[in-house]
């Protein structure tokens, strides 16, 4: 298969990435082999390519906003079948046993591993994912629409749930980047009144276009 690898990390990320032909991965027990249909570009991918994140796996294939379909399942997989549409996200796996995992805060797990950093990700024709960390994706949305939800969307949605907003409540959002502009849409669709504080005039306009009740400069 073809893939993009981070050869030598460096500030010029276009030079850091090289297109290579490599062995198509095999799904281990409990894993899915996924044919990649679309993969988003996240700032974290750029950090991996530029070396701002230390190398965890030499010549890693970045990409952790993966939309694809299952082509093969490893031993013991019963929750997905070939043909299923799935998403692969940044959090690749955790130990499932530590005090954070036990409290549903597996993002804090000290044994956590990450797609496109500790293991090859979605800038490739195929990638693998543990079936219990794969997301079943619905029909009715394009691959390109779904891909950003698998990183920016998950981050914001988790924050929104932790905010425990009552129905029709008021939500304040500081900063209005990839994650916030998705979260604001979810909150507004759920009936929240959303107020945005951000320095960028363009982001303020976007917030209002998306239905925010107010959007102002974040500077004191």
Among 8, 76, 81, 95, binds Zn ion (CB under 5 A): 95
| CB 112, min distance to Zn ion, A | 7
What backbone phi and psi angles, to 5 degrees, belong to 43?
-55, -35
Q: Which stretch binds Zn ion (CB under 5 A): 81-89, 149-157, 171-179, 198-206?
A: 149-157
| CB 182, min distance to Zn ion, A | 12
Question: Of the two residues 112 and 128, which places its CB atom closer to Zn ion in the complex?
Answer: 112
CB within 8 Å of 101: residues ≥ 6 apart: 94, 95, 109
218 binds Zn ion (CB under 5 A): no
| CB 42, min distance to Zn ion, A | 3
How far is Cα 23 from Cα 130, in angstroms, rounded to an integer?
Answer: 19
How far is Cα 215 from Cα 217, in angstroms, rounded to an integer?
Answer: 7
Chain residues 9-28 in contact with Zn ion, contact rule CB under 5 A:
none
| C-alpha closest to that of 62 among 82, 39, 95 | 39
Helix 201-209 and helix 178-189: axis angle, to 10°? 20
147 binds Zn ion (CB under 5 A): no
Order of strands, edge to edge, in the sheet holding 193-197?
170-174, 193-197, 214-216
Q: Which stretch binds Zn ion (CB under 5 A): 48-56, 109-117, 139-147, 166-174?
A: 109-117
Burial label for 110, CB within 10 Å (0-12, 13-18, 19+), is exposed
151 binds Zn ion (CB under 5 A): yes
Question: Of the two residues 35 and 53, which places its CB atom closer to Zn ion in the complex?
Answer: 53
What backbone phi and psi angles, to 5 degrees, belong to 8?
-110, 110
Query: Pattern 33-52, binding to Zn ion, x per CB under 5 A?
Result: ---------x-x--------
98 binds Zn ion (CB under 5 A): yes
State how far the alpha carbon of 135 is from the alpha carbons of 65, 151, 181, in Å.
Answer: 11, 12, 22
| CB 64, min distance to Zn ion, A | 5
Among 17, 70, 109, 154, binds Zn ion (CB under 5 A): 109
Question: Of the two residues 80 and 114, which places its CB atom closer to Zn ion in the complex?
Answer: 114
Binding site for Zn ion (CB under 5 A): 42, 44, 94-95, 98, 101, 109, 151
């Amino acid at each position: 298969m073809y893939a993009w690898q981070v050869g030598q990390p460096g500030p010029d990320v276009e030079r850091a990435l090289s297109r290579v032909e490599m062995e198509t991965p095999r799904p281990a027990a409990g894993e899915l082999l996924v044919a990649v249909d679309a993969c988003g570009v996240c700032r974290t991918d750029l950090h991996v390519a530029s070396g701002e994140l230390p190398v965890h796996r030499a010549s890693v294939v970045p990409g952790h906003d993966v939309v694809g379909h299952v082509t093969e399942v490893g031993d013991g997989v019963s929750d997905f079948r070939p043909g299923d549409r799935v998403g692969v996200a940044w959090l690749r796996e955790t130990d499932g046993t530590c005090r954070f995992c036990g409290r549903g805060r597996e993002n804090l797990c000290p044994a956590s591993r990450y797609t496109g950093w500790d293991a090859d990700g979605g800038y490739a024709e195929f990638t693998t994912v543990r079936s219990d960390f794969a997301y079943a994706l619905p029909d009715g949305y394009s691959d390109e629409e779904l891909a950003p939800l698998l990183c920016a969307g998950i981050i914001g949605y988790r924050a929104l749930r932790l905010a425990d907003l009552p129905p029709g409540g008021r939500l304040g959002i500081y900063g209005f980047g990839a994650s916030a502009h998705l979260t604001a849409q979810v909150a507004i669709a759920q009936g929240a009144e959303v107020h945005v504080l951000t320095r960028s005039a363009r982001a303020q306009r976007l917030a209002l276009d998306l239905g925010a009740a107010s959007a102002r400069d974040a500077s004191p």
